[in-house]
């Protein structure tokens, strides 16, 4: 792990020179921000901007897995990884530098989003900023590691894009990040208990809207912490330097094992937990009392 920091610096430089990275880490999240806060906030009660900001921050964090997976697959396809393999650089340093550089570059976007929310969209409260920081940090590691796993079980960038699109749609639409869980059918709400982003979205909305304490969002923090550790270890296990190394069946099983913590958590949440009800409660909290549905003119 000795060379992680020098690699991290180089990776940050490369990311900033990469158009795809700028798109996924800056353009896309900011577009979500303007669409969500510009259009939907006016339908909601005070706290609505915070509620929507939570969703946008979650999308920003989740975007990590897009850029990283594509980049790693390209590095492998072009034979860049094997050049690094000749040097005393381990898989751990390679993967950790991916995640750390991504994290450092995600933070400014988060700050910009806060600033825009405050000064353009009149954010009326800061919420629990420590909670925001903790969730963003754990979330970035988790979703970045997911990206690295996808990179290890796909062979070409096209394949990676297909898998990413699939995962992204599920994460986007079934976790409360776009459609609040409260308005989804009961069956889909149940499914959300098993999805990693649900913890991120719900956690962020709770710390932002009602300034929930770290202790109050412990379930979300714990889920993301477990997810990040398991996903990182599995990404180390699956890492491939060489383009012609085949993806083994064992690797696919390992990749699927990434979901185990979330399956277990989901089972527990479904039976005893409050993830879903918290998500629904926080949505209710920002609804206008008098007029729940159609927007005022």
Partner 1 sequence: MSTPIIEVENLVKRYGAVEALRGVSFRVQEGEVFGLLGPNGAGKTSTVEILEGLRVPDSGRVRISGLDPQRSGDAFKQIIGAVLQSTALPEKLRVSEALALFSSFYSRRRDPAELLRRFGLEEKRNAFYGHLSGGQKQRLALALALVNEPRVVFLDEPTAGLDPQVRREIYDIIEELRQGKKTVLLTTHYIEEAERLCDRVAIIDYGQVIALGSPRELKERSAGRTRIEVRLARPETDGALRQLDGVVDCRVLEGSYVLHSTRVPQTIVALVKHLEAQGNELASLEISTPSLEDVFLELTGRRLRD
Nearer to partner 1, 124 or 242 (CB): 242
**Rounded to whole angstroms, how far apart are CA atoms 111 and 114?**
5
Q: Is 158 among the residues that bind partner 1 (CB under 8 A)? A: no
Length of the chain: 297
How far from 85 is each of 4, 76, 88, 210, 255, CA to CA, in Å?
A: 14, 11, 7, 48, 23
Q: Which tokens go with 48?
A: 């609505």
Q: Identify which of 178, 104, 180 has the alpha carbon closest to the alpha carbon of residue 144.
A: 104
Q: Is 277 among the residues that bind partner 1 (CB under 8 A)? A: no
In this structure, what are the phi and psi dihedrals at residue 3, rounded to the nearest 5 degrees?
A: -100, 10
**Ordered DSSP codes for 127-173:** --HHHHHHHHHHHHHHHHHHHHHHHHH-SSHHHHHHHHHHHHHHHHH
Nearer to partner 1, 20 or 162 (CB): 20
Residues from 51 through 90 that contact partner 1 (CB under 8 A) = 75, 78-80, 82-83, 85-89
**Rounded to whole angstroms, how far apart are CA atoms 164 and 154?**
10
Binding-residue pattern over the window 217 to 246 for partner 1, x denoting contact by CB under 8 A: ------------------------xx----
Q: Is 155 among the residues that bind partner 1 (CB under 8 A)? A: no
Q: Is 3 among the residues that bind partner 1 (CB under 8 A)? A: yes
CB of 93 to partner 1, least distance (A): 9
Nearer to partner 1, 82 or 252 (CB): 82
Q: Is 17 among the residues that bind partner 1 (CB under 8 A)? A: yes
Q: Is 156 among the residues that bind partner 1 (CB under 8 A)? A: no
Interaction site with partner 1 (CB under 8 A): 3, 6-7, 10, 13-14, 17-18, 75, 78-80, 82-83, 85-89, 241-242
């Amino acid at each position: 792990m000795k060379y992680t920091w020098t690699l991290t610096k180089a990776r940050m430089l490369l990311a900033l020179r990469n158009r795809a990275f700028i798109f996924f880490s800056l353009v896309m999240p900011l577009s979500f921000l303007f669409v969500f806060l510009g259009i939907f906030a006016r339908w909601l009660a005070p706290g609505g901007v915070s509620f929507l900001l939570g969703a946008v921050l979650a999308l920003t964090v989740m975007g990590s897995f897009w850029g990283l997976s594509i980049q790693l697959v390209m590095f492998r396809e072009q034979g860049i990884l094997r050049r690094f393999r000749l040097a005393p650089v381990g898989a751990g340093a390679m993967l950790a530098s991916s995640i750390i550089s991504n994290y450092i570059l995600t933070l400014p976007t988060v700050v910009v989003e806060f600033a825009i929310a405050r000064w353009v969209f009149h954010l009326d409260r800061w919420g629990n900023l420590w909670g925001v920081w903790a969730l963003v940090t754990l979330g970035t590691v988790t979703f970045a590691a997911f990206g690295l796993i996808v990179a290890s079980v796909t062979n070409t960038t096209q394949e990676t894009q297909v898998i990413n699109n699939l995962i992204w749609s599920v994460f986007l639409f079934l976790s409360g990040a776009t459609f609040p869980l409260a308005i989804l059918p009961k069956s889909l709400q149940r499914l959300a208990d098993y999805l990693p982003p649900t913890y991120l979205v719900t956690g962020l909305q709770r710390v932002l809207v009602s300034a929930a304490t770290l202790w109050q969002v412990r379930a979300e923090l714990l889920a993301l912490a477990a997810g990040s550790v398991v996903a990182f270890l599995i990404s180390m296990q699956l890492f491939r330097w060489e383009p012609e190394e085949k993806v083994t069946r064992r690797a696919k099983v390992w990749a699927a094992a990434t979901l185990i913590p979330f399956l277990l958590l989901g089972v527990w949440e479904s039976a005893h937990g409050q993830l879903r009800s918290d998500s629904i409660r926080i949505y209710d909290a920002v609804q206008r009392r008098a007029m729940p549905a159609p927007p005022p003119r």
